[in-house]
Amino acid sequence: RIVYLNGEYMPEEEAKISIFDRGFVMGDAVYEVTSVLGGKILEFEGHMTRLERSMRELEMTCALTREEWLAIHHELVARNNIDEGLVYLQVSRGNAGDRDFHYPPEGTPPTVVLYTQAKPNLANDPKAEVGIKVISLPDLRWHRRDIKTVQLLYPSMAKMAAEAAGKNDAWFVEDGAVTEGSSNNVYIVKGNKIITRQLSTDILHGITRASLLTYAAEAQMEIEERPFTIAEAQEADEAFFTSASAFVMPVVEVDGVAVADGKVGRVAKRLREIYLEESLKRAV
Ligand code: PMP
């Protein structure tokens, strides 16, 4: 695989960074993930807007322009022959020279890494046909979940716990309500209403979420933004999650309780179709 590191393209074996990189030592890095369908990037502008916001919130600077980011995405997609897959982008605060809690001096270059993952069945994911099962776990993450940092240890633990329980993923609960999934935003459907938690620092502001809510509103669907409980999800007509890498994914079981008849719902199925169609139209 050809990857990008700090202005250069190289085989992944040759891409090396310092042991004092802040991303490694302090988890001091932000990232983005975009999907590639038909060799084109989905939701590019949205992901770049969020990247810029994450960096601003952490007082990180990176001189690359949107045109340059897009050119790197395209170059990696081309060099790695990606038709369907993902592009990961990571920016750390760079090499601090030695271990130190303080940020390195201004002007220290960030470490910029991009790489692709081929995923031949991204759009036709068989899991979307049957839906996935989730367990709930307390949300033990920090309280700035709106910043997309690489501090992914708890989500990683949660996915391991879900797998150990024979399920696919975990939904996080705080103060009695669901915040989000381990790596996705979550929704329930009651009648014709789509219910999802409102934006705050409690959740990541999903790019898929933003687009999906726009497309759903255009399709005259009713949306309510508020927290919901696990019990509500278990009693809902449908449940699903969204993320850049899974689009719209039906959830058919929550903590061992089937959602409705335990089959993929009509609304989730329709939303997945609408999402794929609309986001592909805007792909670059
Ligand atoms: N919440 C969390 C915690 C996530 O990690 C992700 C995936 N990056 C999302 C939500 C979904 O965001 P997006 O639609 O931008 O992929």
Overall CATH class of domain 2-118: alpha beta
Q: Looking at the domain that runs over 127-281, which CATH code has it been given?
A: 3.20.10.10
Nearest CA to ligand 1 atom 2: 183
- Distance (Å) from CA 50 to ligand 1 centroid: 11
| ipTM of the complex model | 0.99
pTM: 0.97
Catalytic residues: 148
Nearest CA to ligand 1 atom 12: 206
Domain ranges of the chain: 2-118, 127-281
Give one DSSP letter per residue of the chain, joined into a string: -EEEETTEEEEGGG----TTBHHHHH--EEEEEEEEETTEESSHHHHHHHHHHHHHHTT------HHHHHHHHHHHHHHTT-SSEEEEEEEE--B-SS--SSPPPTTPPPEEEEEEEE-TTSTT-THHHH-EEEEEEE--S-S-TTS-BS--HHHHHHHHHHHHTT-SEEEEEETTEEEEETTBEEEEEETTEEEEPPPSTTS---HHHHHHHHHHHHTT-EEEE----HHHHHHSSEEEEEETTTEEEEEEEETTEESTTSS--HHHHHHHHHHHHHHHHT--
Which atom of ligand 1 is found nearest the CA of 50?
A: 15
From 184, 186, 248, 272, give the residue whose CB has the most ligand 1 atoms within 8 Å, as the site to mutate: 184
- Distance (Å) from CA 30 to ligand 1 centroid: 13
Q: What is the pLDDT along the chain (284 residues), one digit of tens a residue?
A: 999 999 999 999 999 999 999 999 999 999 999 999 999 999 999 999 999 999 999 999 988 999 999 999 999 999 999 999 999 999 999 998 999 999 999 999 999 999 999 999 999 999 999 999 999 999 999 999 999 999 999 999 999 999 999 999 999 999 999 999 999 999 999 998 999 999 999 999 999 999 999 999 999 999 999 999 999 999 999 999 999 999 999 999 999 999 999 999 999 999 999 999 999 999 99
- Distance (Å) from CA 39 to ligand 1 centroid: 22
- The pLDDT of residue 62 is 87
The residues lining ligand 1, judged by C-beta closer than 6 Å to any ligand atom, are 33, 180, 183-185, 204, 206-209, 242-244
- Distance (Å) from CA 221 to ligand 1 centroid: 22
- The pLDDT of residue 63 is 84
